[in-house]
Structure 1
Amino acid sequence: MPYKLSATLAAHTADVRAVTSPTDGLIISASRDATAIAWARTSQSSGFSQTAVLRPGSRYINAVAYIPPAPDAPQGYAVTGGQDTVINVFSLADSSGEPNFSLLGHKDNVCALHTGPDRTLISGSWDCTAKVWKDFRLAYDLIGHHQSVWAVLCVDDRQYLTGSADCSIKLWSQHKNVRTYPGHTQAVRGLALITDIGFASCSNDSEIRIWTMEGDTVYTLTGHTSFVYSISVLPNGDIVSGGEDRTVRIWREGECAQTIVHPAISVWTVSAMPNGDIVSGCSDGSVRIFSATESRWAPAPQLQNYDEQVAAQAISLEEAGIRKEDLPGVEALSQPGTKPGEIKMVRRGEIVESHQWDSANFSWQKIGEVVGAAPSGKKTVYEGKEYDYVFDVDVQEGVPPFKLPYNVTENPYNAAQRFLQAHDLPMTYIDEVVKFIEKNTAGVTIGPSSPQYADPFTGASRYQPPPRSAGSGTSDFMDPFTGSSRYRASSNPAPKPPAATLPVRTPLFFRQANVSAMQSKLYQFDQSLRNEISTSSYSMYPQELNLIDESFVYLTQAVAHPLSPPATPLSANHVDAIVQVLERWPAGPLFPLMDLSRLIIGFCPDAYADPAVRSRLITALFKAAEWNDPWSQPLPKQRETNTLFLIRAFANMFQESTKLGDGKWVVDLFKKLGETPYGFLPKGTRVALATVLFNLSCIALRERLSDELWNLLIGMVLSLLAEEKEEAEAAYRALVALGNSVHIAKEQQRPLDGSQVDMTRQVIANLPTVFLQERFTEVTRQIAPLL
């Protein structure tokens, strides 16, 4: 019997990224809506209902697994992993919705989970590692892949398989890599054990490979027309797969036995049930069950409605690679297909239809209408191809905008990935590019409602803030929780910002934030620490929680209304509470607390005005950022993030109202900052450091610095300008700081010494040749006469 729809489970509000179906009566789904849902069969029928909604945090959930029942969990455990890097373990018998265990260790998005028969758990992450957990404690770090680990599999209690974006599959015996399987040409996305043979793998190269454990490829399954994201093995040995071509495919004896088209852009995940049914999770937020047992098929009206949803899909002529005038009429459908899943295009009047051969029912099934007209009535040619749109995308000031070509019938993810790869941009930007495309095009309706377009890279939002000129008076640099985007469509290159007129007296600050997201993340980490016996002593005390609560209430209003902050200011007690937690917590979960410190420093200078409080705060921030540890490239993710917030916090410390006093604390601070190898700092952190220097130069315009601090400022500015060759905004802010300093030298009659003058002349001669922007040339022209 063919597979037909059995049930549709609709509760998620965004892409369903992972499903597992360990028993005939249980399905667990995980979604980008930040929830995981446990579904139980309502009776012997095909119906399922929700039994638990799990909310581990506010970020995307990308992976889910199941641990069988045990005395401590009579209904078993659901395990989730996602963007927040935490693996949460929930007892399905516990109605509180709180995780029983939170496993900390990954430094980036957790994108794969699997459990073995002995309750061993293996996880894969964007941090290029896999981790093996036994009894909810870390047993092994599997280190050897060069890119994200997208697929993991427990072979037995000692052996594990991992698949990676580096195109390789690795076999591990405990923590040792004992074999590597080359063959796939793109990222490996899924793994599944095959009894008596070995295992199967699927990849972005659209292929499914069957391997022996010794490394031989038994055969390759081809038929998917795009990325294959997930595979599973049915009880009878058939393989089921799902991918970006909107299909689930059933493979039998090396051939595609059936193709099930979905009314969605992506089939992210598939899972085989013990009874032979198939579960899929899609970009339209639906979980669907398909059965080859007629008694479990959905009622006829539901089957007809599903077929209508599939038939309502739109496909582009260009994507299909055909010309309308060359197509046959509907009479061609009287001829049977030659193989399962065969596609045939026919003309019905002016409409072009796409039909697929359903060998199980020996009939052609309409799977969509084919469209091809541009919205404007004409195409734009780019690199020899025609597109409906060619957008200008402004990624960095001073750099010409990149071109983003897009056709309205194209999956926005495909266009976004192509754009990022073409310009060597991080795939972490992919969500923002997709949002940009959606915002600036009418798009195409796929199925009955507009889908939540999503990417397979699970886009942990890496904030790439938009730089502005140092004279702007405000900063558009954003924190990790806001994820703002500079992508915009324009018909002309972005205008160049005007150069500053020296001196520039207004400091720049990093004060923007999504306070509620920051608060949620901080409390989530606190709960994770509280739930683990070994870390429970780190969790926040009631008094600390109260004071930090008050801080968030204040900052929520301050960020929303920066010109009219709340009447009751924060005090040294609030700062002290933050310092105590900074001193006590491990580095991994510190970043929301570091970000909170940045905001308090920016909005509440009186709260840390006392020298003793300020000293404790600065010391705690340096310690939290692991400042004294050895420096290496690239920085670990947690250290990179905490260092960014550290420098932004110090930039906020130098405001219009800041009084330096004897300046000794600033000297100590600048000496500490000077210990860092500048080349080890990421670009965003360099901009923050340049902002610290610029802000101090603004203070120096109105308050005479001590000789020691003055020479430190000049030395650090000149050193930064001599080393910076890539990040234009960092160089520009430091250049304006140099301009301010040269102006001060003349105005306060404290001339630069000979070596400083020589280095300044060298910098202003070389800088405009490195950064070909008018603003650099203009500021250097203003500096030269002052020397």
Structure 2
Amino acid sequence: MPYKLSATLTGHTSDVRALSTPADDLVLSASRDSTAIVWRRDSAARFASDSVFHASSRYVNAVTYLPPTAEAPKGYAVTGDQDGVINVYSLEPTKDDPDYTLLGHTNNICGLRTTPAGNILSCSWDYTARVWKDFTLLYELKGHENSVWDVLAVNEDEFITASADKTIKLWKQHKAIHTFAGHDAVVRSLALIPDIGFASCADNEIRVWSLGGDLVYTLTGHTSFIYRLAVLPNGDLVSSSEDRSVRIWKDGECAQVLVHPAISVWCVSTLPNGDIVSGASDKNVRIFSASEERWAPEEEIKAYDDVVSQQSLASHDVEKIKVETMDALNTPGRAGQTKLILNGDVTEVYQWDGSVWQRIGERAEGPSGSGPTKTYFEGKEYDYVWNVAIEDGEPALKLPYNVADSPAAAAQGFLERNNLSLNHVNTIVEYIYQNTPGQTLGTGGGEQYVDPYTGASRYQSSAASAPAAPASSYMDPYTGASRYTAAPAPAAAAPASSYMDPYTGASRYSGAPQPAAAAKPAAILPILQPVLLKDGNLGQMRTRLHQYNDDLRNEISTSSLAFDPEQERSIDDAFAYVQKCAGGKRPTNPLGGIHIESVAHALEGWPESLRLPVLDLTRLIVAYCPEVVKPPGLKERLFEALLKAANWQTPWAKSPSKPAEMNLMLVFRALANAAQEGSGAADEPWLGQVLSVVSAATYSTLTASQRKPLATMLLNVSCITLFTPLDAAGRAVHLSMLFQVMGSLALFHVVG
């Protein structure tokens, strides 16, 4: 039987980057939204989120499962993040704080595995892999000349590593005993093949090797970079790729193609029952089954196929394929083969999935005119989509750009979405100038103001998830409101392919667009209006908040912390109000003191790991309804609750935990939104008091995610005090804080 959709698991708010599938009823996923989710199959054979671990304040790029122990009868989830930190969480009992934290790697963790004996294998961009026993370092596998992308165990003493130095190494304990050479690109993933040896992938090629070093056979068919390999219980190989697909390989041939409605299928894994699990850039985990009894309902499969068929594929993706008539679909193809079919005025793209020709979209023809060929992605068109390599050893990232946009705003949005240092703004702007020859660079309608401290724009979105709404391009660390949206696109008139390795930036082809005379950057200053931080996924936020409230209510020890019915209604009213405001409507019944009190109840009483959605709601209330805190005493009441939510200490001390760091960041975002016209802030003692308290936090000791909203708050104070000055004491504190920010930026510039 062919594989068909079995289930779609929704819950992540950004790309799903890693999977672990140890049992038929258990799936672990890790995401760029900073979380790992444990999914369990219930009695009705449906998967649902069982628990969520907030494993980092940055991307979580690796996850694996550690078998049960006496301390954890259901086993452990092991996660690895961008900072090189490995966290180990018990699945019973579950809590948001890790049971163990493994330190030693100095850069991004890009792969995790475990052995039957319970050892943990990790690999990193720091050029090493490590073996951990009883949560302490056993071996360091040191010898590669570039990032180590994957590691797996042959047995408890032998390991295999794959690297960006284009080699594979076999290790006996901590000593390299053989090097496999032959790939001419980054080797990203490995998989053990029963009775043969192992498989590896680089670029769009899969190689199968014996452990003795012999190349057994090579598999080709993917049209872009292969990210992950897995093996089915019967020994068949499965791969996931940047070409939107998962492919199943049987007896050295592609047997089936599972096309996804996403550009990047980052990861793939297999369940013991033979089902296939994938994770993609559209935030979803999907399960495919060859067993008819586990297929999704027919209408759900049809809806999925319809989504796939509605994609637009850039013309250069299929430009070498000739256009045929509908009659060509009467002839069977080979798995993965693509055809262009002229259907009326539309050129449709079909692919043979192993049994039928599946419509996977339409060829998108670029608009006519003197401008560059447009690139389409999920209904949004761009003039350019580039791969930009920020630092050696780190992945290239997709930079979408329209020539009518402000280069500074586009650069800042790109850096914010990808959690990168603002030190790169000038580099990205210069890159845009050099790669848009002959184009007039616009100012985005005069609205692309940029924060001189953080570079933050006024948050006008180009996100495909909300094409008609003026949402932010800034990534919300809690909701993941921004998303990875990309499609390869060549620069206009460039003789080179735009397909570049999303990890290393390497191209399979030579050539690059010639730089042209750069247009002058659009004016950034002066900024007269405050920058408000209004981005956010309200639906996800509301769901999470009510989930936390239910959890508190259902535990005897915490039931008193839950909302009472009146408070719960006021919270729902607040969400409804913000939702309407975000949609451009102004409700007739504004929020009031009862809503502030309900929010304050949770900010002051809930455990720190549960405060994120409450804080996010608070900063949106302040942004959309500044009048709610105008009555005497309400600003002070809210400020007091926010300080308690941030665990603010006197004297101030750095946040001791990741949840506390996130809480403080969102408190700063709320205060930035409070400093706006209509809030009456500048002519009241309140603002000076806020500045006095917040100034205790030394700017240089804050994290990058905390500095940005604090600097935006200072910008906003500058804007509103243009018309209503602060008193002398408030001005002195404000200036002192501004000097701290500028001094810190100057230091970073010198160091960088």
Within-5 A mapping of 1:575-614: 592=703
Q: What residue in structure 1 maps to residue 399 of structure 2? A: 434
SS at 1:307 equivalent? helix
Q: Pick closer, same or farther for the CA change 1:411–1:169 going to 2, 3 Å.
A: farther
Within-5 A mapping of 1:634-713: 652=740, 687-688=749-750
Match of 1:345 among 340, 343, 352: 340
Shift of 1:333: 1.4
Within-5 A mapping of 1:108-123: 108-123=107-122
Within-5 A mapping of 1:113-192: 113-192=112-191
Distance 1:149 1:462 in 2: 23
Q: What residue in structure 1 maps to residue 422 of structure 2? A: 463
Give the partner amino acid of 2:399.
V
Shift of 1:595: 8.9
Q: Is the 8 A contact 1:466 1:476 kept in 2?
A: no
Give the partner amino acid of 1:100.
D
Q: What residue in structure 1 maps to residue 34 of structure 2? A: 34
Give the partner amino acid of 1:230.
R
Q: What residue in structure 2 maps to residue 613 of structure 1? A: none
Q: Is the 8 A contact 1:318 1:372 kept in 2?
A: no
Distance 1:413 1:61 in 2: 29
Within-5 A mapping of 1:427-576: 430-431=396-397, 434=399, 436=401, 461-466=420-425, 476=453, 493-495=518-520, 547-548=653-654, 566-567=688-689
SS at 1:308 equivalent? helix
Q: What residue in structure 2 maps to residue 334 of structure 1? A: 330
Give the partner amino acid of 1:195.
P
Match of 1:298 among 296, 300, 303: 296
Give the partner amino acid of 1:145.
H
Q: What residue in structure 2 maps to residue 502 of structure 1? A: none
SS at 2:306 equivalent? helix
Give the partner amino acid of 1:567.
Q
Q: 2:115 matched to 1:87?
A: no
Give the partner amino acid of 1:194.
I
Within-5 A mapping of 1:608-623: none
Distance 1:88 1:573 in 2: 33
Q: What residue in structure 2 maps to residue 272 of structure 1? A: 270
Q: What residue in structure 2 maps to residue 768 of structure 1? A: none
Q: Pick closer, same or farther for the CA change 1:185–1:438 going to 2, 3 Å.
A: farther
Q: 2:347 matched to 1:388?
A: no
Q: What residue in structure 2 maps to residue 309 of structure 1? A: 307
Runs of 5+ in structure 2 lacking a partner?
407-412, 428-450, 457-473, 477-491, 493-514, 524-530, 534-607, 610-646, 715-735
Shift of 1:272: 0.9
Match of 2:257 among 256, 259, 265: 259
Match of 1:368 among 348, 356, 361: 361
Q: What residue in structure 2 maps to residue 3 of structure 1? A: 3
SS at 1:464 equivalent? helix
Q: Is the 8 A contact 2:386 2:400 kept in 1?
A: no
Shift of 1:127: 2.0
Within-5 A mapping of 1:352-363: 352-359=347-354, 361=355, 363=356
Q: What residue in structure 2 maps to residue 284 of structure 1? A: 282
Give the partner amino acid of 1:335.
T
Q: Is the 8 A contact 1:67 1:77 kept in 2?
A: yes
Give the partner amino acid of 1:340.
A
Q: What residue in structure 2 maps to residue 761 of structure 1? A: none
Q: Pick closer, same or farther for the CA change 1:436–1:50 going to 2, 3 Å.
A: same
Q: What residue in structure 1 maps to residue 369 of structure 2? A: 378
Distance 2:95 2:377 in 1: 45
Q: What residue in structure 2 maps to residue 209 of structure 1? A: 207
Q: Pick closer, same or farther for the CA change 1:172–1:463 going to 2, 3 Å.
A: farther
SS at 1:567 equivalent? helix
Shift of 1:58: 2.3
Distance 1:232 1:246 in 2: 17
The CA deviation string for residues 606-638 of structure 1, in whole angstroms up to 9 with x for no partner, is xxxxxxxxxxxxxxxxxxxxxxxxxxxxxxxxx
Distance 2:53 2:247 in 1: 30
Q: Is the 8 A contact 2:83 2:107 kept in 1?
A: yes
Q: Pick closer, same or farther for the CA change 1:496–1:78 going to 2, 3 Å.
A: closer
Shift of 1:308: 1.2
SS at 1:332 equivalent? helix
Distance 2:402 2:121 in 1: 36
Shift of 1:495: 3.2
Q: Pick closer, same or farther for the CA change 1:95–1:595 going to 2, 3 Å.
A: closer
Shift of 1:252: 0.9
Q: Pick closer, same or farther for the CA change 1:272–1:555 going to 2, 3 Å.
A: closer
Q: Is the 8 A contact 2:163 2:186 kept in 1?
A: yes
Q: Pick closer, same or farther for the CA change 1:220–1:649 going to 2, 3 Å.
A: farther
Distance 1:542 1:558 in 2: 14
Give the partner amino acid of 1:378.
G
SS at 1:285 equivalent? coil
TM-score (norm 1): 0.57
Q: Is the 8 A contact 1:132 1:138 kept in 2?
A: yes
Runs of 5+ in structure 1 lacking a partner?
381-386, 390-405, 442-452, 469-473, 499-511, 515-522, 525-540, 583-589, 604-647, 656-682, 690-726, 728-787
Shift of 1:269: 0.6
SS at 1:183 equivalent? coil
Distance 2:210 2:271 in 1: 24
Give the partner amino acid of 1:152.
V
Distance 1:79 1:409 in 2: 33
Q: Is the 8 A contact 2:51 2:94 kept in 1?
A: yes
Distance 2:382 2:158 in 1: 35
Q: Pick closer, same or farther for the CA change 1:230–1:410 going to 2, 3 Å.
A: farther
Aligned length: 517
Shift of 1:202: 1.4
SS at 2:324 equivalent? coil
Distance 2:280 2:31 in 1: 9
Q: Pick closer, same or farther for the CA change 1:330–1:270 going to 2, 3 Å.
A: same
Within-5 A mapping of 1:747-762: none
Give the partner amino acid of 1:367.
I
Shift of 1:379: 5.2
TM-score (norm 2): 0.59
Give the partner amino acid of 2:152.
L
Distance 1:352 1:149 in 2: 42
Q: 2:191 matched to 1:69?
A: no
Shift of 1:255: 0.8
Shift of 1:548: 4.7
Give the partner amino acid of 1:314.
S
Shift of 1:275: 0.7
SS at 1:318 equivalent? helix
Distance 1:277 1:113 in 2: 21
Q: What residue in structure 1 maps to residue 23 of structure 2? A: 23
Q: Pick closer, same or farther for the CA change 1:573–1:159 going to 2, 3 Å.
A: same
Give the partner amino acid of 2:352.
W
Q: Pick closer, same or farther for the CA change 1:467–1:199 going to 2, 3 Å.
A: closer
Give the partner amino acid of 1:495.
K
The CA deviation string for residues 123-154 of structure 1, in whole angstroms up to 9 with x for no partner, is 12222222221111122222222222211212
